Amino acid sequence: MLREWRGFLLLQGGYFIFSLCAIFLKFASQEPFLSPHFLLLYAASLACVFIFALIWQQVLRKYELMVAYAWRGTLFLWTFLWAVLFFGETVTFNNLVGAGIIFSGILLVVVRSE
């Protein structure tokens, strides 16, 4: 049981790190092109992608590709969180309905694979 939770936390941790990439790129887009701050934010984004790639290789040892990739839909949930926390955006009812549909799809894939 604990081993299953470790795998799941590794999977979600990877997607969490990957979601940070979008934040760094959004902030980088607000800086002058090739300025030191732009380059720093862009490098942070690339570092997130690199760390995600390393974690993804470990995830694929524990899960089938179809199951691991199905959980990619949780990136939308992380994106909603970052949009509200960092950029002051609002999440609409339609956004929540869409997230519910995506999460339902994830559960269908995961439950059917077990």
Give per-residue pLDDT as tens, 32-59.
999 999 999 999 999 999 999 999 999 9
pLDDT computed for residue 16 by the predictor: 92
d(CA 15, CA 106): 14
Three-state secondary structure readout of the chain: CHHHHHHHHHHHHHHHHHHHHHHHHHHHHCCCCCCHHHHHHHHHHHHHHHHHHHHHHHHHHHCCHHHHHHHHHHHHHHHHHHHHHHHCCCCCHHHHHHHHHHHHHHHHHHHHHC
Averaged pLDDT, 66-88: 84
pLDDT computed for residue 1 by the predictor: 54
pLDDT computed for residue 113 by the predictor: 63
The reply to whether the predicted model has a pTM over 0.95 is no
d(CA 40, CA 43): 5
